[in-house]
Structure 1
């Protein structure tokens, strides 16, 4: 609200003008009846009809400009919320995506942001409706004290009842959004993994899971819709009863001679006019109820704890490490237990794990997406927690095997900012030059979102080329060749070894072709370093190593 003060003020002022004009219309009609028809004054009738026309023009333009300001406030507020959510999700410190599916976050950034943004329009409408009720009450008080008091005392009671009716809607709206976001997240995951699901024959299980979650979402949506319909129906009934009472009291007053014919016309017309503001209050409360539920979901994302804290920024932080010495001192995180590892500058080291969870935990610590529970990770003798995240991630690039590609050209995905020589070398080392030759447009070939226009092997090679073209002082590659054939894998292993010679490289993989290109290999078993040595020596000496890399 504070961020859209200007539009809120403009919209509210014009909304108040519109509702004031609407409330004055019955009064002017009553005056025209009294002066022109009952009194037989034709000039007076024409005068009041002219005033009535002017009021209609004013309220029409007030509605136009007020609605424009309200929509602008609503759309802009939703956009700013959406931007804040994206910034939080993409924050280097991470943490916002923990426990949330990508589709769920997308639903929060779209539907929830839209509902919260709509609260600005609801506020403008509510202020205008309140003004209309106030003007109508004042006019009725001037016409008749009993009528005015009836409106002034009955309206707050009616609004309080409407507020009570909105509580179930708020609760059910929150449940509806939660279930819808969950269904959206599962759907996005299933679409992303469709090829894998088909490959393992799990389509039926996936469809059954989505059908179950979708049915839960549908049930929640129907419950929320029933709550909204029930609220709207009861509010309509209460509003109609209240207005009928106002009309009845006004009619009896006119029959007794307490008010004139024109005043009776104004009173009945005002009673009919009050249907509008009171109905708008029903809509306003529904918007507020849904907006509050969505606001809670947005706040949960924006207030989510950071996974890590950023180190010093700018010139206050350590100089960008360039030597590339990587050291783990007694690192314990998740399944990892007291891992000590020292990688010298320019060394190519392989890491083999008997449990994929060990590899995942190691990568999280090296990328500093999480900090170790015990121990430390050092870069050139400096604890990475003392480095600004931007500097650390410019020095240490962790390229996981499931990296996404983006919509654009092949060249843009590999690295449009890199030099031509770096791109050419990265393409050759990763085997992506074969992909380039296979595509009609070469490097200018269009890549669809998440790289779905390419095969799995092509996507993996392009992602590897992107990592190599970045030319980071320390490069950590996680299973970069799982989706290619054996011949291509051998060629890629040779290319990585040649291109990264003299640059610190950590290959977290169980691929014999890649491990054969390393200076030494570290075996992680049950979260601890079980052995260190050359690939050939470990194959001969350790059965657990043979099982991990050859089975």
Structure 2
């Protein structure tokens, strides 16, 4: 991990927040996400809407006042009255300018805050101890949901404020036209609802295709991130062409979805332009006919034409807001799918006593590759678990970490079934250090101290670094342990990264520590030192090493050989090497 403050923030998210929903049997739908995004920022959105409505009302007043100037000032030739009306126009322009400025500021603030809240909620859901949000999704897809989709949902606040202001503008324009001519006013007021209905129908295809576009784009981002993370491995096995082909196919699918969404956007915008154009043309034609018949004055005709032109603005805003709402609904559905993802493990809210002895017991556990595995580890024992099947090791780690519950059998800690404990409580006592553990940006020391408990002994970090031979790394770096590491610790070699990750795991001082192949990239001499260091630093605390390293297994009190998902032999490393051919082949091959 990175530095301690970052870890504390992640742990805070891991525990969840009372505001969060989903993932625990509570359904979350797209409309719920949209409603919360708007109501959560209702003060800013309402303030922005009021100011934006004031801006639109002032815009509607401009042609009306110009018509009044023509009828009451220019026709009479009174220069003083002309000056007064011009001053009044200046005030109106000042008000509409300030209203627009501050309404946009409030709406944007609501948008950014809503998006930030969603990102925080999504991060909390992904990091929740019970898991499940990541199932079936690449990490890049989750990042896309938390960034692009959250931003689109937040932008709905701007769309809502804009739509309210546009409706206020249409209402103000309709009322003004009613004062000029009842037929014109009724035409606007009665014609707006059908126009809004047609706009909603035009937005349906855009909403569907926008959702597909975001889905494909997120998948492409996830594949790209996955390939970049494994770039060195791909080059090592000569699989660059296959990787390029995979990304090309994914990228083309994303491009096709984007083009479909762009076509839907074009049809939507074009359709709205035709609708609004026809509507304005009808208003202008009716106004011109009334003026030709002498039913309205020249000033009123100017006001009517000006109002007809003004109506283009709120109608265009409604068209834009309708498109934003369509895209926001699609993104909200994707956000909801993450928040409502079922947890990987259900049930269990028990707690452990403060002092955990560390007795681990598996009784006839079946899960994925495990087939009735039984294992008993005494408190303070250092046990090696050997298996030739990586799937067996992965399944064992999942049930010990309670990222999955066994389909049958029981996993116990100090006699308490893990299925009855809160997963976060399990991980307080049982720390599983997986083989592919990542390092994070920050200093070498910051990575090691990331998970050190507040009440740890002063020499905990120093002892952990020595045990993992990470102190040797610090001595050769430019600034020692204070040297900053690059992303994922790529400035270190593979063996150095493993040693730092092992030091981080040892520094937790967990009552039960499970290590999975922590020294596969380390030379034999250093591995022997690490084996001795693990035994010393973990003295009196339970440690399970899922490894095939002879050096580590020789340091274990006891070794359990798992073949076919079940325990087939146990004893010391020396006894099994001499007495079990399958074990000897697995360890020494």
Give the TM-score category using the shorter length.
over 0.9
1:155 and 1:383 map into 2 onto residues whose CA distance is: 64
Corresponding position: 1:470 with 2:504: no
Counterpart Cα distance in 1 of 2:326 and 2:492: 45
Is 1:287 matched with 2:324? yes
2-side partners of 1:452 and 1:264: how far apart? 73
- CA–CA separation in structure 1 for the residues paired with 2:481 and 2:213: 45
Q: How many residues align?
A: 548
Mapping of 1:4-403 within 5 angstroms?
4-309=41-346, 311-312=348-349, 317-403=351-437
Give the CA deviation at 1:194.
1.1
1:391 deviates by 3.3
Corresponding residue of 2:492: 454
SS in 2 for 1:531: strand
Q: CA deviation at 1:456?
A: 1.1
Question: Aligned-residue CA RMSD in angstroms?
Answer: 1.5
Aligned-residue offset at 1:532: 1.8
Deviates more, 1:392-401 or 1:419-428: 419-428
**TM value normalised by structure 2:** 0.90
CA distance in 2, matches of 1:9, 1:364: 48
Q: Which runs of 5+ in 2 are unaligned?
A: 1-37
Q: Distance in 1 between matches of 2:244 and 2:154?
A: 34
- 1:510 correspondence with 2:544: no
Separation in 2, partners of 1:233, 1:386: 59
CA distance in structure 1 between the partners assigned to 2:62 and 2:231 by the alignment: 62
Question: Alpha-carbon deviation of 1:498?
Answer: 2.5
Moved more, 268-277 or 214-223: 214-223
Question: Can you list the C-alpha shifts for 1:305-353, whole angstroms capped at 9, x where unaligned?
Answer: 122247447xxx3413421111112211112122111100111111111
- SS of the residue corresponding to residue 331 of structure 1 reads strand
State the distance in 1 between where 2:176 and 2:462 align.
81
Would the aligned equivalents of 1:321 and 1:395 in 2 still touch at CA under 8 Å? no
The answer to whether residue 558 in structure 2 is matched with residue 520 in structure 1 is: yes
**SS across alignment from 2:41:** helix
How much has 1:419 moved relative to structure 2? Answer: 4.3
Distance 1:312 1:208 in 2: 46
Alpha-carbon deviations, 1:288-313, whole Å to 9, x = none? Answer: 01101100110011111122247447
Q: How does 1:394-473 map to 2 (within 5 A)?
A: 394-415=428-449, 417=452, 419-473=457-511
Distance 1:419 1:240 in 2: 76
1:485 alignment partner in structure 2: 523
TM-score (norm 1): 0.97
Shift of 1:62: 0.9
Could you say which structure has the greater relative contact order, defined with CA pairs below 8 angstroms and 6 or more residues apart? 2
